[in-house]
Structure 1
Amino acid sequence: MDYLSAIQITEVISTIFYTMLGVALMGLVWKCIDWLTPFPIIKEIEEDQNIALAILIGLLFIAVAIIIAAVLVS
């Protein structure tokens, strides 16, 4: 019960805000990647089964998520 009394409403609100900010930034990164590539990424991954591109995009999202998390924590 001691842990619940230590949680403040401002911490919960700030956590929700920064989560939404991180998700919005990840969406913005996806739109930029999609805009910069000369081919449709979704078609390459889904229809052409380009596993290498799927792994590359996944790793890119992990890297961007780590950067966003580091910025939000600091």
Structure 2
Amino acid sequence: MDIFSAISLAEIVSTLVYSFLGVIILAACWWVIRTFAPFPIIKEIEHDQNIALAILIASVFVSLSIIIAAVILS
């Protein structure tokens, strides 16, 4: 029995489309965060070594990823 016989082209295309859509939404959220932050986020994390801000941004991305995945799967 062939492993790939159960996979259809529509599943592959929908997976690629939804993955691309998820990446676009995450990029848009990153743009919103950077635009409305009262300070430069990259400078704070890289140069000033602000670990708390890095953890906060990472948790925002993880939570957004979970929400986007739940919406796509529903």
TM-score bucket (shorter structure): over 0.9
Deviations 1:13-42 (Å, cap 9, x if unpaired)?
000000000000000000000111110000
Structure 1 ranges of 4+ moved more than 3 A: none
Cα distance between partner residues in 2 of 1:16 and 1:3: 20
TM-score by length of 2: 0.96
Aligned-partner Cα distance in 1 for 2:17–2:56: 29
* Unpaired segments ≥5 residues, structure 2: none
Q: Percent identity?
A: 55
CA RMSD in angstroms comes to 0.8
What one-letter code is carried by the residue in structure 1 that aligns with 2:53? L
Aligned residues: 74
1:31-73: CA deviation from partner (whole Å, max 9, x where unpaired):
0001111100000000000000000000010000001001111
The aligned residue for residue 41 of structure 1 is 41
The match for 1:9 is 9
Please give the alpha-carbon distance, in whole angstroms, between the structure 2 residues aligned to 1:63 and 1:36: 19
Alignment of 1:1-74 (within 5 A): 1-74=1-74
CA distance in 2, matches of 1:2, 1:50: 51
Structure 1 unaligned residues grouped into runs of 5+:
none
